Amino acid sequence: MEGPQSVSLVLLLPLLLPLGPAWPVAAQRCPPTCVCDNPRRHVACWHQNLTEVPDAVPELTQRLDLQGNLLKVIPPAAFRDLPYLTHLDLRHCQVELVAEGAFRGLGRLQILNLASNRLSSLPQEALDGLGSLQRLDLERNVLEELRPGTFGALGALTTLNLAHNALVYLPAMTFQGLPRARWLRLSHNALSVLDPEALAGLPALRRLSLQHNELQALPGLALSQARALARLELGHNPFTYVGEEDGLALPGLRELTLEHGALQALDARAFARCPRLHTLDLRGNQLDTVPPLQGPGQLRRLRLHGNPLWCGCRARPLLEWLARARVHSDGACRGPRRLGGEALDALRPSDLRCPGGAEEEEELAAAWARTPPGGLGHGEDGADGTAVPCPPGCVCASESRHSGCESRGLRAVPRGFPSHTQLLDLRRNHFPSVPRAAFPGLGGLVSLHLQHCGIAELEAGALAGLASLIYLYLSDNRLAGLSAAALEGAPRLAYLYLERNRFQRVPGTALRALPGLFSLHLQHNAVERLEPGDLAGSQALRWLYLSANRISHVSPGAIGPAPDLEKLYLDRNQLQGVPTVALEGLPTLLELQLSGNPLRALPDGAFRPVGGSLQHLFLNSSGLEQISPRAFSGLGPWLQSLHLQKNQLQAMPALPHLSQLELIDLSGNPFHCDCQLLPLHRWVLSWNPHPSWAQQLLSIEPLPPPPMRQLNTSRGEGPARASDRPPGSRKCMGLGVDFFGAGFPHPCSGNAVLPG
């Protein structure tokens, strides 16, 4: 759904209403571990440790929600007795295998959610029988490969989500058989190569998401197969150059995002065959100049913020073109000194000194002394056809500029890689330490993989000469500390992955050597506190991941040195309260993760310091028993989602100031349906009195549920017997129409309860 008041359905809200006439007497059954909403033909069996699809699900069921179980394997024809299913949710079920023909018989199914499981592959016929399927979600699995024909039976599919998997390669005709697909999500994988025919067979594709991958060059030939593309997302990839020779030809493309990559140069005709391009996002790259672009005559927005733009004489053609073509552009000048910090769109060509003079040229040379991107070194595979040098036991691909020695049992970092290498993969070897100058001659290296190598130390100067390095992966090692001297050779490092090491403190001193650090990953370490100075020098930091540590205290001022922080993950730590004071000085924070901490209570104004920016707040599984009526005061119209599921809440205050919420998840709380919930009832009605709208906004379900029995909540049948509920109140077995509609008891006092 769209619009400012649209809502997302996280869990179906079970309504325990009497059986309607459309549900035959033969279907009046319900598995003992499930909740059945018979009139709407919805069945939910959440978090019941089920190892197989339950029996006795009514045959006419249209929506079946099995998320949070232990299915592991979906056998052939697992849902053959449910031919009317239109929605099937199998998230978080630890599914490792989907057998061939698992969904045969589900010819009416429209939405299938298999996200957050353990699938590493899909058999050729696993999705057979789903001819009506419109949306397939496979996000957050461990898929490593896709075989051509896997999706061939999904002729009606419009959205395919494969984000957050482990894909490294897409073969030819991967997506054949998807003539109606409009959005393909492949972000957050490890894709480095796309076959030129990988996207063939997608004639209706309008949006393609490829951000956060390992693409070393723009795969123009492969992308050009999707001729109907209107939006292409390629940000957070490590390619350094885009030119006409990349072959990008998309006549209908309107928006192209290349933000936060490693771009150092852009050819004037790079987008010459994208005539309808309207918006080009180049934020956060390494561009010091941009040429006037030839070809995209409809371009109206050019985003350059976060690039080290040099506003010397050679920027004059850019300014003249921006004015002539009426292109709006952001970004600021890095130099020369007299124009440092000036907004690009505030400059006129006459503001530039042409010629710039020797002083300005010397200033430019000093600022950008670096290895030319993509330059070939001695003895490499150049025009004379000589062999590419490569260490024994390793593979060096000249065309993709990838080199690797993964899982070769190496005891020392090998040397002798081609100097044009941009991605070096040394995972799963055994290097107790990385010595000084371990990577000579690799000035163009962009991405370095050192995961699972048993590394306990990076010696001083270990990264010397890696002036172009953007991505450094040191996850799953034995590091307990880092020094600034070890990182000093990689001044442009933007993404540092240190998950599952032995850090007891954030290596703040080392981070001072990384002025452009964008994302820091320290999940699953042993950090106990955040202290002032831990993030000193991290002014550019946007994403900070500290999940699953032992943090019990965040000192005031500890996070403030990162004023542009957008994501802060502190979930699964030992915080006993919201670190309210420590959140001061974060005016751009969008996402705050505090789930899995023993918070117990939320006091007044707990999130006031970030109220002007916060969009997503996670407080699930935090042992919350009490929420102050003003706990969320200060959180303004920006908040979009609020996650409070799996706590110990028996009551919930109204949240009248959160008028733009799109999602609030309250499932798994032992709510008591008495007058304590009257403010919540009124709050929902003040937004929109339509009961179905409220049911989709809120998700409420007891954890664990009482033994299943059909309860009558319609006014026409009268209240349930007093013996069916504890005195004064009862647990909410689903807040139905009587709660969200006009059926709340008035006046509400004493031990009044909701109608049975």
User: Which are the contacts of 502, defined by CB distance < 8 A and separation ≥ 6?
Assistant: 478, 479, 480, 525, 526
Domain annotation covers residue 472: yes
Whether residue 97 is contained in a domain is answered as no
| One domain for residues 325 and 414 | no
How many Å apart are CA 153 and CA 184, to the nearest integer? 16
Q: Residue 366 contacts by C-beta under 8 Å, 6 or more apart in sequence?
A: none
| Pairing label, strands 159-161, 111-113 | unpaired
Q: Is residue 343 part of a domain?
A: yes
DSSP 416-428: ---TT--EEE--S
Contacting residues for 738 by C-beta, under 8 A, at least 6 apart? 713, 714, 715, 744, 754, 755
Residue finishing a domain among 526, 558, 590: 526
For residue 34, what are the contacts with CB-CB under 8 A and spacing of at least 6?
43, 44, 45, 48, 54, 57, 708
The domain boundary residue, chosen from 477, 502, 526 = 526
Is the same domain home to 329 and 414?
no
- Spatial neighbors of 685 by CB under 8 A, at least 6 apart, are 694, 740
Residue 635 lies inside a defined structural domain of this protein: no
- pLDDT at position 719: 31
- CB 648: neighbour CB atoms within 10 A? 14
Q: Is the pLDDT of residue 726 over 70?
A: no
Read out DSSP for 706-728? Answer: PPP------GGG-PPPGGGS-TT
- Do 344 and 455 fall within a single domain? no
Encode pLDDT of 624-672 as tens digits: 999 998 999 888 778 888 899 999 998 888 877 777 777 788 888 888 7
User: 316: which DSSP letter?
Assistant: H
pLDDT digits (tens, 9 = 90+) for 270-327: 999 999 999 999 999 888 888 899 888 889 999 999 888 888 777 888 888 888 889 9
- Average pLDDT of the residues in 252-267: 90
Residues ≥6 apart with Cβ < 8 Å to 612: 587, 636, 638
Indicate whether 445 and 515 sit together in one domain: yes
In a domain, 653, yes or no: no
Q: What is the pLDDT of residues 465-507, one digit of tens each?
A: 999 898 899 999 999 999 999 999 999 898 899 999 999 999 9
Same domain flag for 422 and 344 = no
Is 0.85 surpassed by the pTM of this model? no
Q: 669: which 2 tokens? A: 């709380």
pLDDT of 19 higher than 50:
no
- The residue type of 571 is D
Question: How much is the pLDDT for 532?
Answer: 92
Kindly state whether residue 483 falls inside one of the protein's structural domains. yes
Residues 343 and 441 in one domain: no
CB-neighbour burial class of residue 4 (10 A; exposed 0-12, middle 13-18, buried 19+): exposed
Residue 638 forms part of a structural domain: no
For residues 485 and 510, give the distance between their C-alpha atoms in angstroms, rounded to a whole number. 7
Q: Examine the domain organization and report whether 502 and 408 are in the same domain.
A: yes
Domain shared by 440 and 344, yes or no: no
In a domain, 491, yes or no: yes
- The dihedrals phi and psi of 429, each to the nearest 5 degrees, come to -115, -160
What pLDDT was estimated at residue 685? 64
**Choice between 387 and 593, residue whose per-residue pLDDT is larger:** 593
CA 507 to chain centre: 25
Final residue of a domain: which of 500, 526, 552? 526
Which CATH number is 467's domain given?
Answer: 3.80.10.10
Q: Do 326 and 409 belong to one domain?
A: no
Percent of the chain past pLDDT 70, that is, above it, reads: 81
Comparing 4-8, 61-65, 458-462, which segment has the lowest mean pLDDT? 4-8
Domain that holds residue 409: 400-526
Q: Mean pLDDT for the chain?
A: 81
Same domain, 433 and 508: yes
| One domain for residues 409 and 522 | yes
**Segment 63-70 mean pLDDT:** 94
In the predicted model, what is the mean pLDDT of residues 102-109? 94
User: What are 249's two structure tokens?
Assistant: 């030809």
Number of domains in the chain: 2
Instruction: Please say whether the dihedral angle defined by the alpha carbons of residues 596, 600, 606 and 612, taken in this order, is positive or negative.
Output: positive
418 and 493 inside one domain? yes
